[in-house]
Chains A and B, each alone.
Chain A
């Protein structure tokens, strides 16, 4: 897919990998609507390119999604690219022993992670694909998964959500091919972003890095380049591209 003149939505586009991807898409000539709940960087993102605009939205709320997607279509007229990048990282064992005794995984946290990392992808994609089909748009959906989808000790909710994202990716690729809509995924390993440092802690990250053959974290621009290649390659469909420095081999 040639990106010049195309329109894209990037969820979670205000920070980290999403922000790098937004810059890359704009550099290639695409118009980009950034959807994020975190509005702190909106002004600086919009100042970087006149091809980018930002919209605040809680992606766990289907009604908000419908309203905001309508706003985006009013402005862009069409959307060929949707990147479902928004998500949260949460780590906790199913049952753990702490200094206070035994503690099981918080059920509310489970619901929050599943809603934010899995349900939001479903709501967003259904809403945008409905518009794509009505306009008969030839498009691409890229879901940002994680190598945690294979199961990460201490990340029940996150791993389950990302495994769900992989299943949706395969299912939608089969369903939407007849409509000329590709669906694929990118699964980063551990990346050098603020959110990763905040959730994992530097001690845990050092242990992870020791298991990566390249002995470092991924950079946001390296992951965004992988996403961009999936967006552009018209024959990449239904699969998950892993970019983890060789962590899972």
Chain B
């Protein structure tokens, strides 16, 4: 599954609206509870375990992509 599709599903927005610049602080659908839903979905879908620091850093789609890429989850 593509990141955009997964994030769109969790946040309840069309995946076309999900770009790397989409940020937690600018989305009224992306609050702290949704963030944890997103983290669980990312961990299950991409078979990774995220650290607390990584979870805190994942506040934009671009950062999510970067961190998952660094963990080798997007290959």
Q: Which residues of A contact B (CB under 8 A)?
A: 133-136, 175, 178-179
Contact = CB atoms under 8 A, between A and B. Distances in A.
B33 A175 contact: yes
Contact of A133 (B33, B37, B49, B52): B52
Interface string B19-37: 0000000000000010011
Interface of B is mostly: helix
B73 interface: no
B40 interface: yes
A134 to B, nearest CB: 5
B52 A178 contact: no
A134 B36 CA distance: 13
A179 B52 contact: no
Interface in B49-65: 49, 51-52
A178 B36 CA distance: 6
A178 B37 contact: yes
Contact of A134 (B39, B40, B52): B52
B51 A179 contact: no
12 contacts: A133-B52, A134-B52, A135-B52, A136-B49, A136-B51, A136-B52, A175-B33, A178-B36, A178-B37, A178-B39, A178-B40, A179-B36
